[in-house]
Amino acid sequence: MLSPHEFATLMLIKYAPDEIDLDRAELETLFEHRLVTLEDFPIGRQRPLITSEGHLLLKAVGRAR
């Protein structure tokens, strides 16, 4: 079960992945549950990316299309 902060972070990653601070404590739980992964950019930057499991969770609660 995700905390409200973890769920909110998952939604932020879905809709504004470039706005997420990679040092957020909630990301660790999302990584552990395989809801989020990191996407590497050629310039050496990373950003969070929702996995298929993460999309399924959001869809299950009616927040994703």
Q: What is the pLDDT of residue 62?
A: 79
What is the Cα–Cα distance from 41 to 29, expressed in whole angstroms?
A: 23
Burial group, residue 16, by CB count within 10 angstroms (0-12, 13-18, 19+): exposed
Cα–Cα distance list, 20 to 1, 17, 37, 60 (Å): 21, 6, 13, 23
Structure tokens at 17: 């992945």
- What would the pLDDT profile of 2-22 be if each residue is shown by its tens digit? 899 999 999 999 999 889 899
The average pLDDT across 29-54 equals 92
Q: What is the pLDDT of residue 63?
A: 55
Computed over every residue of the chain, the mean pLDDT equals 90
